[in-house]
Amino acid sequence: MSLHRKRFTLALERIQPTDWARFEQFASAFLTSEFDNLRTVASPSGDEGRDAELFSPTSEPEIVLQYSVTKHWTTKIRDTAKKVKKNLTHARQLLYVTNQQIGADGDGLKKELRTKYQLILDIRDSSFFLDRYEGDDHREAVAENLARDIVDPFLESKDVIQKKAQALTTAESRAALVFLELQWQDDGREKGLTKTAFDALVRTALRGTNPDYRLTRNQVYDLVKKIIPTDDIAFLIAETDKSLSRLNKNFIRHYPNDEFCLSHEENIRLKSRIAEVEINDQELVNDITNALKAVIPEVELADNGNLLSYLSICRISMEKFLLQRGELFVSALENGQLQHLEYGSVKRIVQDELKIPNINEEQLTNRLATVIERVLTDPSISTASYLRGIADAYTFLAFLRQTPDIQSAVKKMFSTGEIWIDTSIVLPLLAEDLLPEENWQFRKLILAAKNAGLKIKVTPGVIEEVERHINRSQTCYGLVNSGQESWDGSYPYLFSFFISTGSAQSFFSKWLENFRGNIRPEDDVSEYLKHFFSIEMTDISIDAQKADLEIRNLVKETWVNIHTNRRNRSNNGFDPLLSLRLAEHDTENYLGVIVRRQHESEKAFGYTSWWLTLDHKAFEIKPMIEQSSKIKIPLAPVMSADFLANYLAFGPLRGKVAKNMHGALPVAIDPGLVEYLSPELLEIAKSVRLSAKDKPEHVIRRDVRDALDNARRRQGDITNKGLNSVFDS
């Protein structure tokens, strides 16, 4: 089995200053296939600035090498060049060999050494080794030896598992989560969920085993029971036996006395996979750290103890939130009642974890919750798939705790369907036109649903709201751009989103033309959605009119109150006609979908018609009406975006979702995370863009985004204001 790139990468990253001699040994052996006359010259008495040279029988060496593991490579290179120039006057080339990642950051030094010392600098960094070890038997053997010495002891230790799965408490459950994540990534989506889960549990139980350390069948049973305590022991034993049989020969070894261990090949494979998890985990830590630096004042993070404490709180709070989401999803399948997990729970989790004295706890809670929300909803490209894997693993664990027979549980869910989307979904779909594909959330979700065979639909009422919002955004831009009249209320969502990306304000009108023209704007919006997302406009009002008149009036009245209260709270003024119109559209969607269900299964998740919305108030309609009027109404037809993402990952249609698309499903979506743009922030964006006018456009956009991030941090908790910018049409 060839050395896995991630395992070698982790070995290079984990080389410590005390491992300098081991790195020199590795680097010299690696380079001998390129330089057969390489001579190591480092000695305790001094090496005149180099660790090795290319042997020259007639003169001083012209090519010298410096091995180093220091992170301060700039200083090290300069010091080495100075010594070489002084002591080795014939030297013409310096090869700087390091485990650090330098890349293009070293270009300036190359020019400096060429000008100042007449030395050609050739940097051999971690990328050099990673790009050249494969396909060369000698180099691969040298790299494998380094991985065995540096990283394998770490991968075999308990620490590598104990630092993962922070929402869990026992060592077995933490290990199980890691192995569930790996198994889910490795298996095809056509494989039964129960099989995937138990294959992961058996691997968890057998981790660390080998021919000299084996477990009996009963010991495997006991370890699986520790992970998923259940009253159905017969089912657990039967599925464990099936898994032991499936994994036999290829992945585990079965001995005559009914003992088991992982095969040598499987142990090596798992080390490589865990090395991959470790690297991804460090990238997640970097994401959280960067978000902390964007949200928490610099002076507060100057104390490294604060940074580490905040990092720990964010990590465990994030994972507890993902566990709660998984539990809510599984609970919904069990009791037939879909609930909405609000992001307010993030703050509550942070409050429980926050045990730091002498700090304004409410302010810090808001800031740390904002950090978690940013990382979950807008992760870096490198961590997005990893976060999705963690979220799925927690959902798997929630399934196992509730019902080990996962496959039977998901069979309750619909396998065909139509999803009606509202304005809160459509507007982000339009806004993401400004983002690169890797940063899409809503678009990936809708495209994955379409890929799975679901029909995505929208009503004429929603098209009207979207067009009115675009028009309102254009009007806002005109007033703000003219400077003659101020805008009353919060800026519309599309305008806020456009400015927040750092885009030039003068191009806003041109951008809106992507979605609609001036003659038949609503038709243009409908055509855009159909062309790019296969979203069909279908009138559902006739269905809504078939609902019981009393229920129809109660639903509409409830929606009118919701929209009226929302506008009163946002100080946008009271417009009864607008509230009435929005309420009519929401009632149309809510009741229209209910009526279309009348000839479908009565099981909650057997229904094929759903209304997808970000408005959490939609989940409260049924209990609000039943509490005030005592009239029973049908099950709510509402689905959250988070639920849809989990449905696409675990539901009956998961096999139809391309594996690469599954990994791209958003981890978390919430309307409260639409960031509010105040007049003060708009002025900052203008000022930064003006001062940076001579820079390239992509740099200007970055400067504007960074400036807005810093300003938002000073303004404090603002995400709650963002919801109104979506729903104000």
Q: Give every CB contact of residue 271 below 8 A, 6+ residues apart in sequence.
A: 4, 7, 152, 155, 156
Residue 500: pLDDT band (50, 70, 90) is: confident
Does the pLDDT of residue 673 top 60, yes or no? no
Mean pLDDT of 364-384: 85
Does the pLDDT of residue 406 top 50, yes or no? yes
Residue 203: pLDDT band (50, 70, 90) is: very high
Which range among 103-117, 405-419, 589-603 has the greatest average pLDDT? 103-117
Are 411 and 651 a contacting pair, CB within 8 Å? no
Does the pLDDT of residue 58 top 70, yes or no? no
Does the pLDDT of residue 155 top 70, yes or no? yes
Looking at per-residue confidence, does 659 or 394 come out higher?
394
Residue 111: pLDDT band (50, 70, 90) is: very high
Residue 669 tokens, joined: 């979506």
Cα torsion at 631, 637, 641, 643 (round to 10°)? Answer: 90
Q: How high is the pLDDT of residue 59?
A: 57
Percentage, residues of the chain above pLDDT 90? 34
Q: Which pLDDT tens digit goes with each residue over 246-262?
A: 999 899 999 999 999 99
Q: What string of DSSP letters covers 155-220?
A: HTSSHHHHTS-TT--SHHHHHHHHHHHHHHHHS-TTS-HHHHHHHHHHHHHHTT-BTTB-EEHHHH
Residue 360: pLDDT band (50, 70, 90) is: low
Q: Which pLDDT tens digit goes with each residue over 311-345?
A: 999 999 999 999 988 888 888 777 666 666 666 68
Q: How far apart (Å, rounded) are the C-alpha atoms in residues 195 and 116?
A: 65
Are 70 and 17 a contacting pair, CB within 8 Å? yes
Q: How high is the pLDDT of residue 696?
A: 76
Comparing C-alpha atoms, which of 454, 455, 169, 456 is closest to residue 323?
169
Residue 601: pLDDT band (50, 70, 90) is: low
Give the CA count within 13 Å in the CB-facing half-sphere of 709. Answer: 19
Q: How high is the pLDDT of residue 505?
A: 81
Does the pLDDT of residue 510 top 90, yes or no? yes
Q: Which pLDDT tens digit goes with each residue over 408-459?
A: 778 777 778 899 999 999 999 999 998 888 888 899 999 999 988 999 999 9
Q: How high is the pLDDT of residue 718?
A: 34
Q: Which pLDDT tens digit goes with each residue over 653-663?
A: 888 877 667 77
Question: Out of 97-101, 177-181, 215-219, 555-559, which region has the weakest mean confidence (pLDDT)?
Answer: 177-181
The alpha carbon of residue 256 and the mean position of all alpha carbons in its chain are separated, in whole angstroms, by 45
Q: How far apart (Å, rounded) are the C-alpha atoms in residues 115 and 723?
A: 57
Q: Which pLDDT tens digit goes with each residue over 223-245?
A: 999 888 888 899 999 999 999 99
Q: How high is the pLDDT of residue 679?
A: 59
Residue 597: pLDDT band (50, 70, 90) is: confident
Looking at per-residue confidence, does 359 or 591 come out higher?
591
Q: How far apart (Å, rounded) are the C-alpha atoms in residues 224 and 406?
A: 16
pTM of the entire structure?
0.80
Mean pLDDT of 354-376: 78
Domains of the chain with bracketed CATH: 5-154 (3.40.91), 158-269 (1.10.10), 413-542+597-621+633-729 (no CATH)
